[in-house]
Structure 1
């Protein structure tokens, strides 16, 4: 099935329910809250960046969204279902923090991308159609010529493209990336964000946690600024003009680059 057919199949669901929804969410690893009274909604096709200082709860918020953590109070939902009970892993492509720096995967790029088909076919033999989907994913991220190279021999930016290709091979509707440009050189960062923008234009919902404020304000269409609570949630240009960054960081923070 092509991505177009796949997207059309799920279009009816997307029209009536958000991809991610949090309602009055509180969570703490101890008695001290890490995130507090968070309510937000991400609809199909959005490109959302979550920003905030170190220790602000960004990664915790993402884990709550994905059902990896359960809130102390409130509710989190994925594609209309309780996040902790959601079990259609093929709909979510997750690229973890520091994935680009991994040196512990002595397998080829093609083998990484083929993993994206496992939620659909298990660990059985891939069909010709599955192999075509893998090839298409490699082409989309510009990694076809690296298909037989070991992941350990790739640059940081190339590794991230391989992991995104794995998500595409799984036909994910939501791509979640946790600080994906850590350890990636500046030139590769620009190309990486161009790729994300292209994927978003093709209909994939992007949820990004990023420390590079200039990059997210250049590319993301919506910003959620967090420091335990939400200080801003809205269009990127309005965020740049607001004082939310300074309030969330507790300093006279300014943008370097950006819109």
Structure 2
């Protein structure tokens, strides 16, 4: 991949977490889905969120992004109450199964163009705006597919188009909910290589992923969840801990040598 760098247009400071949860609890009914969650994600971190099915991972992500409001506790984005945060261009969110979406009969360039709307509205893009769009396409390796319809792309290519849209919006925080579902193995490897490049550029990455091997290989910090936090710390410490076994309710070794 070319050494092309997207430069964030906002000043990140370590003093203000990108994400902050304090004693957060939430339930769709009387039964809590997540409870007593406290954590902070600093700008520039690469976080992997793991846990069994139904453990509250997607709910946690929605709380982080202000898509849900906690029943108890506090959720903040860049220091602002998450549900009040209105600078959407700073965040790129790719929901679960987004790569499988085939509803949009528009081109890749048109998808990426949408990333500029928070900056320019729905009016005409300037030459500088189009340069940002083209740079985002280059960064994710999709320039050759710019005029191809999204409906004609593979799952991995669609995923890259959505990431390019976030980069065109000058996102500082990229959030993914199981982004490799339905993506072929070769594209998955290229996807994680791309996330590594973006993280090296200073973008904050939060990743919910069922592929534990990918998380432990790429993320620098792991959050292990099953309604409550079972682990939050460096990846190497997570691999050596029993947190995953406790979260999954099993004594079987879950992570192998590879």
What TM-score do you get using the length of structure 2 for normalisation?
A: 0.96
Q: 2:106 & 2:256 partners in 1: Cα distance? A: 38
SS at match of 2:53: coil
Q: 1:162 & 1:98 partners in 2: Cα distance? A: 14
Matched, 1:204 2:203: yes
Contact 2:112 2:168 in 1 (8 A): yes
Q: 1:257 & 1:139 partners in 2: Cα distance? A: 35
| CA shift digits 1:124-166 (9 cap, x unpaired) | 1100000000000000000000000001111110000000000
Alignment of 1:33-112 (within 5 A): 33-112=32-111
- 1:4 — aligned with what? 7
Q: In proportion to residue count, which structure has more helix? A: 1
Structure 1: gaps (5+ residues) = none
- 2:16 — aligned with what? 17
- 2:151 — aligned with what? 152
Structure 1 residue 3 displacement after superposition: 4.3
Structure 2: gaps (5+ residues) = none
Change (3 A) 1:131 1:85: same
Structure 1 residue 256 displacement after superposition: 4.3
- 1:255 — aligned with what? 255
Root mean square deviation of aligned Cα: 1.1
Moved beyond 2 Å, runs of 4+: 2-5
Structure 1 residue 253 displacement after superposition: 4.3
Structure 1 residue 254 displacement after superposition: 1.2
What TM-score do you get using the length of structure 1 for normalisation?
A: 0.95
